[in-house]
Structure 1
Amino acid sequence: MALLDVKNVKKIYTTRFGGSKVQALKDVSFSVEPQEYVAIMGESGSGKTTLLNILAALDKPTSGKVYLKGRDLSQVKEKEMAAFRRQNLGFVFQEFNLLDTFSVEDNIYLPLVLAGKKYEEMHKRLLPIAEHLGIMDILKKYPYEVSGGQKQRAAVARALIIKPQLILADEPTGALDSRASDELLNLFTQINQSGQTVLMVTHSVKAASSAKRVLFIKDGQVFHQIYRGCQTNEEMYQKITAALTVLTTGGELK
């Protein structure tokens, strides 16, 4: 069974006074299997952010369904939604979303604190993650005392500590320099190889080249997809670049 199943999702926004309607998503369908690493690409305004918000249960589709491990997200009651996200979804954002008044350690603990977990359990979960991500030496520091790459590693740790079904990453390399970006992408590859399912929205061809599959969104629909197979990152880069050229200029994909 697919971990994530998106079926005929449509999203229409009505302007404030109901004068006009904007169709952000027309008819999006795709599945993500357990342990996949999928990147979603598309031009600005193609519907990527809208789709991510729907997958994160932060927005609801006008029509269509999203299933996470067989559960229809539209059937999750509003009062249960926050707990549902904490239990099933890990988030990694471009701007890290760390609280400067909390230490790195406490930022990572936050979703477990909200879930009512005891300190002993939180600490037990954190140690192997922090060691794997190489952030043991910054746990007692504050976000303003560490680098962008270290902040993003802390954000990844916060996503992993809840043992999520799925990690949703929104432009995770967008605020990083090239070295920190490379480190993060290598980290995502390691996390995925350890069994974690990852879905990433990105504008970066380099970031998408690290995924096992790339979905392209155009005019609110899935336009094309590329499977890694045995291809290298460099070969993926070339294929993704070619697909984006067709997506922006027209023509046919080979």
Structure 2
Amino acid sequence: MALLSVNNLKKVYTSRLGGTQVKALSSVSFTVEKGEFVAIMGESGSGKTTLLNILAGLDKPTGGEVFLNMRNIVTLGEKEMSAFRRDNLGFVFQDFNLLDTFSAQDNIFLPLVLAGKKYGEMKNRLDPIAQKLGITDILQKYPYEISGGQKQRTAIARAIITQPQLILADEPTGALDSRSSDQIMNIFSEINQDGQTVLMVTHSTRAASCASRVLFIKDGEVFHQIYRGGQSQDEMYQKISDTLTVLATGNAERGVTANG
């Protein structure tokens, strides 16, 4: 049974005057198995952000279903979705979304505080995560005192400390230099190897080459996908690059799947 199942998802935005309709998603269907690391790619305007917002419960689709751990989140009300999001989803954003008036530790603790956890439990959860991510020495510092890479590691710690079913990452290396980006993607690979399921939207071919599968969105639909299989990261990088070139020139055949 898939952890995440997206069935025939549609999203149409209508202008305030009702005269113009924009189809952001026309028919998106895919599944994500527990323990997978899936990247989603596509040109600007392809529907990636809309898809991620629906999966996060921040937007409602016009049609279709989204099952996470066998629960259809599309049917949840606002309060139910807020609680479900807190208990089941972890988020990593391009701009980190850290509170400047909170220390790194307090930023990481925030979702657990909102869930009513006690300090002892929060500290016991944090210690091994901070050690694994290499942020033990910056926990008492504030976001303005640490580097972009350290901010993103703090954000990853905040995402995984709740032990979520799924991490949703939106351009997690978009604001980082190449060295910091590589470090962050190594961390994603490591936590995925530990069993964490990750779904990442990215424009970065290098970041996507770390995933076990890449879905390509074009004109609001899943147009193509590549499985890593036994390929190296360099081989995966080349296949992704070739696919993006084909998609950009409009010569791809819809529905073709590349296996490693």
Q: Please, what TM-score do these two structures have when normalized by structure 1? A: 0.99
Superposition RMSD in Å: 0.9
Give the 5 Å matches for 1:106-121.
Answer: 106-121=106-121
- Secondary structure in structure 2 of the residue aligned to 1:137: helix
Bigger drift between 114-123 and 244-253 goes to: 244-253
Between the aligned residues of both structures, percent identity stands at 72
User: CA offset at residue 112 of structure 1?
Assistant: 0.6
- Secondary structure in structure 1 of the residue aligned to 2:53: helix
Residue-pair matches, total: 254
Q: Please give the alpha-carbon distance, in whole angstroms, between the structure 1 residues aligned to 2:86 and 2:126.
A: 16
CA distances 1:111-170 after superposition (whole Å, capped 9, x unpaired): 011111111111111111111101000000001000000000000000000000000000
User: CA offset at residue 243 of structure 1?
Assistant: 0.6
Bigger drift between 71-80 and 188-197 goes to: 71-80
User: CA offset at residue 252 of structure 1?
Assistant: 3.5
1:146 maps to: 146
User: CA offset at residue 251 of structure 1?
Assistant: 1.4
User: 1:109 is aligned with what amino acid?
Assistant: F
Q: Please give the alpha-carbon distance, in whole angstroms, between the structure 1 residues aligned to 2:122 and 2:214.
A: 34
User: 1:21 is aligned with what amino acid?
Assistant: Q
- Secondary structure in structure 1 of the residue aligned to 2:107: helix
Task: Give unmatched runs, 5+ long, in structure 1.
Answer: none
Q: Please give the alpha-carbon distance, in whole angstroms, between the structure 2 residues aligned to 1:75 and 1:50.
A: 18
User: 1:130 is aligned with what amino acid?
Assistant: A
- Secondary structure in structure 2 of the residue aligned to 1:163: coil
Q: Please give the alpha-carbon distance, in whole angstroms, between the structure 2 residues aligned to 1:252 and 1:101.
A: 49
Q: Please give the alpha-carbon distance, in whole angstroms, between the structure 2 residues aligned to 1:198 and 1:37.
A: 5
1:37 lines up with 2:41 in the alignment: no
Bigger drift between 224-233 and 116-125 goes to: 116-125
2:211 maps to: 211
Task: Give unmatched runs, 5+ long, in structure 2.
Answer: none
- Secondary structure in structure 2 of the residue aligned to 1:12: strand
Q: Please give the alpha-carbon distance, in whole angstroms, between the structure 2 residues aligned to 1:125 and 1:68.
A: 24
Q: Please give the alpha-carbon distance, in whole angstroms, between the structure 2 residues aligned to 1:74 and 1:152.
A: 29
- Secondary structure in structure 2 of the residue aligned to 1:162: coil
CA distances 1:42-73 after superposition (whole Å, capped 9, x unpaired): 00000000000001011111000000010000
User: 1:49 is aligned with what amino acid?
Assistant: T
2:67 maps to: 67
1:200 lines up with 2:196 in the alignment: no
Q: Please, what TM-score do these two structures have when normalized by structure 2? A: 0.96
Q: Please give the alpha-carbon distance, in whole angstroms, between the structure 2 residues aligned to 1:76 and 1:117.
A: 24
Give the 5 Å matches for 1:11-90.
Answer: 11-90=11-90
